[in-house]
């Protein structure tokens, strides 16, 4: 549950292929989140106008059509209704992360850092503390 609202945090996963979505989902499950998935920037924009999300994660290259994930960051920033929704770029490339932050995204992480404690700390800022897993 989100410490602020008393509800599960909601995350929108944009443009990740099935294996990457599954890995990201496992990471987000540690925060007891509700995850929606879309494959295109236009679908993401529609979802963001219809629902409230605590965080948007966008792939550097949208898997379904190879479009640039930066387009979503730019379009979100141009829309007053959703510009305050935090969005992060998922990319191992520092230059892609820098471009995303310059366009208005929050600092993100790469797929190679899914198990990194720094990624957990970064996500905790938006999703609350991870829930303990039973052993």
Domain ranges in the chain?
A: 10-127
CB 24 within 8 A of CB 16: yes
Q: In the CATH hierarchy, which fold is given to the domain comprising 10-127?
A: Rossmann fold (3.40.50)
The residue to which tokens 């494959």 are assigned: 39
Mean pLDDT within 91-108: 97
Q: Residue 4 above 70 pLDDT?
A: no
d(CA 135, CA 1): 21
pLDDT digits (tens, 9 = 90+) for 49-87: 999 999 999 999 999 898 999 999 999 999 999 999 999
pTM score, whole prediction: 0.92
Mean pLDDT within 94-101 = 97
In angstroms, what CA-CA distances link 2 with 20, 32, 47, 61, 118? 25, 9, 20, 30, 20
Q: What angle do CA 27, 30, 34 make, to 5 degrees?
A: 85
Give pLDDT, residue 1: 47
Backbone angles phi, psi at 81, to 5 degrees: -70, -30
pLDDT at 6 over 90: no
């Amino acid at each position: 549950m989100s410490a602020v609202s008393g509800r599960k945090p909601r995350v929108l996963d944009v443009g990740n292929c099935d294996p990457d979505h599954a890995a990201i989902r496992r990471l987000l499950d540690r925060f007891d989140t509700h995850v929606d998935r879309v494959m295109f920037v236009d679908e993401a924009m529609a979802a963001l106008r219809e629902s409230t999300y605590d965080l948007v994660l966008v792939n550097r290259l949208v898997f379904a059509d190879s479009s640039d994930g930066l387009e979503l960051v730019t379009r979100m920033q141009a829309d007053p209704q959703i510009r305050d929704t935090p969005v992060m770029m998922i990319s191992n490339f520092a230059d892609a992360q820098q471009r995303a932050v310059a366009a208005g995204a929050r600092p993100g992480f790469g797929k190679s850092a899914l198990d990194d404690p720094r990624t957990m700390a970064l996500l905790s800022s938006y999703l609350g503390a991870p829930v303990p897993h039973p052993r």
